[in-house]
Structure 1
Amino acid sequence: MNFTKAVLAAMTAKGLKKSELARATGYTYQHIYDLLSGERRWNEDSINKVCEALGIKIEITHGGGAANE
């Protein structure tokens, strides 16, 4: 799952609107809309603010397997 899809799923699960996410992160509605629609790229700051606002975290794991040996 890509980050935008994960954010949208978390927003749906919490019943959070884009405008509420914008308020919680300090970004404008347009900035959040652009991030979620793919018109703007996520950066470290926006990822961190959105994760904090939604109470989610990013976890990177090593999948193993022949391609990773």
Structure 2
Amino acid sequence: MTKLSFSIKVKHALIDMNMKPSDLARRTGYSAMYIHNLLNGKRRWNEESMEKVCNVLGLEIQIISKSRSG
């Protein structure tokens, strides 16, 4: 299983949904600059921002034990 960073997965989801980061910003209530900074690694994701982005993009975060992931 290939590991992807959260930002990369979000970027892929944006492409799949034909959305721009500014669209995501509007739908999450964040500024476009904040979303761009998250996606570019200039800001760190937190639980609230991850939840809002997942809700908009229809994504789900799963926590899997290391013993089961490999």
What band does the TM-score fall into relative to the shorter chain? 0.7 to 0.9
Deviation of 1:64 after TM superposition, in Å, equals: 2.7
Higher CA-based Rg: 1
- Give the structure-2-normalised TM-score: 0.86
The two structures, once aligned, show a CA RMSD in angstroms of 1.6
Structure 1: state its 5+ residue gaps.
Answer: none
Structure 2: state its 5+ residue gaps.
Answer: none
- Give the structure-1-normalised TM-score: 0.87
User: What percent of counterpart residues are identical?
Assistant: 43
Q: List per-residue Cα deviations over 1:15-68 (Å, max 9, x = no partner).
A: 110110000100000000000000000000100000001011111223537xxx
Figure out how many residues of one structure are paired with residues of the other and give that number. 66
